[in-house]
Amino acid sequence: EFPDLDLLDPETSSTSELERRACEAEAAALAVKGVTKSGGASASTGIGGMVLVTSTGFQGSYLRSSQGISMTAIVGEGTSMERDYDYASAPHAADLESPGSVGRKAGERTVARANPRKVQTCKVPVVFDPRVSGSLVGHLVGAVNGASIARKTSFLKDRLGEQLFAKNIRIIDDPLRVRGLRSQSFDAEGVRVKKLAIVDQGVLTSWLLDCATARELGLVTTGHAHRGVSSSPSPGPYNLHLEAGEPTPAELISDIKQGFYVTDLIGSGVNGVTGDYSRGASGFWIENGEITYPVSEVTIAGHLLQIFKTLAPANDLEFRYGVNAPTVRIEGLTLGGR
């Protein structure tokens, strides 16, 4: 008997309702002073699921619904255009953020990015907005994937049981979250899943394993097998989150004399074998504890072990995506500018 995770919305959204949501989001964005045009709005709904029958006698199935809204706004003209976005998704329409809120935030974020400046190359504290801070959790999870560990292609292959983060850091994978975006009761091999602390009190405590990688490593599967219709199982996460800290985002940056607040990341320059980190970014300059002017065309560089070691979370965790994290602060990253 599996728990009811309430993944299927009994109400379906009609095409006219989807059109209404998209139009409402777009109207809200265009109503923000300074927005010059729409980059497009969308609303979506869908139902998917899985039926799994294995040679070991396991039988299981589930259905899940999905609802989504997105909006992109544009400010400026020609080569001086800037754009930004917002989106929301949830299994149930009742849990979906309102289209007006999504559109308004897209418009406000876009206007804030107008007329960005360049900065000099420097080494400063870097603060990651919740929209992008989850990517740091994603890099950790990629490095603890059982397939990478078995192939010895992860920079963390010899780090199990080590203190990688500060003692207040916990990173959780919870497949049993009610109405979670990636929730399910069993994995793609019919193994019952459970909540797992990948990092507990700053210590790396577990790999993510399916049956095959567990056998290769002489361990037991953690119930993280995923697969498509025609693919073999491989390990992957469910609903990941970095637990919130105590300071507010404002308190987290209050003592930064000069720093960078990241709102957008570009490219995928992260080496999972060595742990080297380098990504294009845009965001805002921090001066004397305050977010000031927009900044574009910079590169953030460092090493993931150093990032993990100095990572400090704020208290603004929200469960909006498949991977969720609050605002986080990292010390001493190199900012490549002009």
**Residue 293 structural domain:** 122-135+244-336
The region of weakest confidence among 77-91, 146-160, 185-199, 233-247 is 77-91
> Is 338 a residue whose pLDDT tops 80?
no
Q: How far apart are CA 245 and CA 312, in angstroms?
A: 7
Do 254 and 329 share a domain, yes or no?
yes
Name the domain boundary from 242, 257, 276. 242
Do 202 and 185 share a domain, yes or no?
yes
Confirm whether 7 is domain-assigned.
Answer: no
Do 61 and 210 share a domain, yes or no?
no
Q: What is the pLDDT of residue 229?
A: 83
Confirm whether 184 is domain-assigned.
Answer: yes
Q: Report the pLDDT averaged over residues 184-191.
A: 96
Confirm whether 167 is domain-assigned.
Answer: yes
**What is the per-residue pLDDT across 211-264, written as a single tens digit (0 to 9) for each?**
999 999 999 999 999 998 888 999 999 999 999 999 999 999 999 999 999 999
Q: How far apart are CA 321 and CA 330, in angstroms?
A: 22
Q: How far apart are CA 112 and CA 239, in angstroms?
A: 31
Q: What is the percentage of the chain residues whose pLDDT exceeds 70?
A: 100
Q: Report the pLDDT averaged over residues 75-79.
A: 86
This prediction's pTM: 0.94
**What is the per-residue pLDDT across 118-174, written as a single tens digit (0 to 9) for each?**
999 999 999 999 999 999 999 999 999 999 999 999 999 999 999 999 999 999 999
51 band by pLDDT with thresholds 50, 70 and 90 = very high
Q: What is the pLDDT of residue 240?
A: 98
Q: What is the pLDDT of residue 152?
A: 96
- Reduced to 3 states (helix: H, G, I; strand: E, B; else coil), residue 191 is coil
Do 298 and 317 share a domain, yes or no?
yes
Do 23 and 95 share a domain, yes or no?
yes
Residue reference for tokens 């002073």: 33
Q: What is the pLDDT of residue 226?
A: 96
Q: How far apart are CA 167 and CA 162, in angstroms?
A: 11
Confirm whether 147 is domain-assigned.
Answer: no
Do 175 and 314 share a domain, yes or no?
no
What are the CA-CA distances from residue 189 to residues 3, 179, 183, 226 (Å)? 18, 22, 15, 8
DSSP structure string for 44-72: EEEEEEEEEE-TTS-EEEEEEEEEEEEEE
Residue reference for tokens 């919740």: 130
Burial of 94 (0-12, 13-18, 19+ CB in 10 A): exposed
Do 21 and 102 share a domain, yes or no?
yes
Best CA proximity match to 259, nearest among 119, 154, 155 = 119
Do 238 and 249 share a domain, yes or no?
no
Torsion 321-324-327-330 (CA) sign: negative
Q: Report the pLDDT averaged over residues 8-16.
A: 94
Confirm whether 203 is domain-assigned.
Answer: yes
Do 62 and 38 share a domain, yes or no?
yes
Phi, psi dihedral angles at 146 (to 5 degrees):
-55, -30
Torsion region of 272: left, alpha or beta (phi above 0 gives left; psi -120 to 50 gives alpha): alpha
Per DSSP, what are the bridge partners of residue 143? Answer: none
